[in-house]
């Protein structure tokens, strides 16, 4: 016989999979903000979503092209809350860079992801999420950045940047 699932009250909020009222407000605000820039927003239930380049990812931001609407797509609506909201913050960070700077800072993919993770961390603080979620995000971001570096390049300067990023994320 399978063990009974724990009652929802015994699961810490950050590990629950349902969205809180606060999350729904964040989702609403993101939709409203994105609409101003002709960007559609989709919160998908699948664990991962298919990016324009065909890759399976947690989420992606595709800015508007000539006559194509922009898209912000975030998967994992049924994942643990901390993972989901950290993905929301990361992809929204890409959108914010595009809106306010017109481009993503950083010359390499690693550097762009590094900037997105730092801004995502600030967004999580701004949204007032619980500190356990921020800690989980930072840990996950460090791992992700290390993976990005290994996968996409291996230059010395970028390794220094990784240490710099990890330091900033561990504060
Ligand atoms: Zn990213």
Q: Where are the beta strands (DSSP E) in the chain?
A: 39-43, 49-50, 56-57, 59-62, 70-74
CB contact at 8 A, 58 and 76: yes
Please give the distance, rounded to the nearest whole angstrom, from the Cα atom of residue 106 to the centre of ligand 1: 12
Interatomic CA distance for residues 6 and 99, integer angstroms: 43
What is the predicted pLDDT for the residue at 163? 66
Give pLDDT tens digits for 58-112: 999 999 988 899 999 999 988 899 999 999 999 999 999 999 998 888 878 888 9
Distance, CA 90 to ligand 1 centroid (Å)?
6
User: Residue 55 corresponds to which tokens in the numbers above?
Assistant: 């890759």
Q: What is the mean pLDDT of the chain?
A: 86
Q: Ligand 1 centre from 91 Cα, in Å?
A: 6
Q: What is the pLDDT at residue 106?
A: 82
* Predicted structure pTM score: 0.84
Q: What residues pair up with 62 in beta bridges, in sequence order? A: 71
Domains of the chain, by residue range, sit at 8-170
Cα 149 to middle of ligand 1, angstroms: 13
Q: Confirm if 99 and 36 have CB atoms less than 8 A apart.
A: no
The pLDDT, as a whole number, for residue 54 is 92
Q: Considering only 119-123, 129-133, 158-162, which range has the smallest mean pLDDT?
A: 158-162
């Amino acid at each position: 016989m399978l063990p009974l699932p724990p009652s929802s009250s015994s699961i810490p909020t950050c590990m629950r999979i349902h969205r809180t009222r606060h999350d729904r407000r964040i989702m609403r605000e993101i939709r409203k903000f994105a609409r101003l820039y002709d960007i559609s927003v989709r919160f998908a239930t699948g664990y991962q979503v298919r990016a324009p380049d065909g890759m399976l990812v947690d989420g992606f931001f595709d800015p508007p092209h000539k006559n194509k609407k922009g898209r912000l797509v975030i998967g994992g609506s049924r994942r643990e809350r901390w993972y989901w909201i950290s993905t929301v913050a990361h992809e929204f960070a890409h959108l914010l860079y595009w809106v306010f700077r017109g481009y993503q800072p950083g010359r390499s993919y690693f550097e762009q992801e590094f900037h997105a993770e730092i801004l995502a961390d600030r967004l999580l603080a701004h949204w007032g999420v619980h500190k356990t979620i921020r800690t989980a995000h930072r840990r996950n971001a460090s791992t992700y950045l290390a993976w990005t570096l290994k996968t996409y390049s291996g230059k010395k300067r970028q390794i220094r940047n990784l240490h710099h990023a990890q330091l900033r994320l561990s504060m």
